[in-house]
Amino acid sequence: NLEEYKQLIENDEGTVSVSNFIGGGPIDTKNDYKNYAEFGTFVHHVVETLQKETIGTSLSILNIFNKKKLESIFNTYANKFTIKQLIEDGEILNMEELYNMTRDILSTVNEYMSRGYTVLPEISILAKDRHNRNIVGRLDILAIDNKGLTTVIDIKTKKINPNVFQDSLSAKYSIS
């Protein structure tokens, strides 16, 4: 499934995002989409990095997270992306906002971890709809409790369409 997903992206095949079914709105350009997707991947990288650093300690991911740590993780992150008024050309423009946004996400993840959940970031899913279109989704974070029950933590970093009542399954050629 992951290999199919990667191939779709590499081949630039048309896909329908799962978030289109729940009110997701269009990104203005393909480059904007890639930047927002990369920003999401960066946030996952922050979570994973902090998780690794706290394994075997009594510290939480929030205990070790600060602006200096965020800047260090950002500076060693291989892929560059631009988010208007936040990050541009590999430079943080607004550290306070980036820190607060990331801390909010980490707080949610930390809550699950403190309750004993196993937290798995970035799981890709791929399926076909009734029109044989590629439906692509990414579980931002999957939290699994000790009984095997799961919770999906969905991080939204793109525009949301206010018209959530539209039947996106009826639009036969609606792809992005």
Which residues does 46 contact at the CB level (< 8 Å), separation at least 6?
A: 70, 73, 102, 106
**CA-derived radius of gyration, the chain:** 17
Q: Where is pLDDT greater, at 3 or 151?
A: 151
Q: Which residue has the tokens 């499934």?
A: 1
Query: Cα 84 to chain center, whole Å?
Result: 17
- pLDDT tens readout for residues 1-58: 567 766 766 776 665 554 444 434 455 666 777 888 788 888 889 988 999 999 899 9
Specify the pTM.
0.68
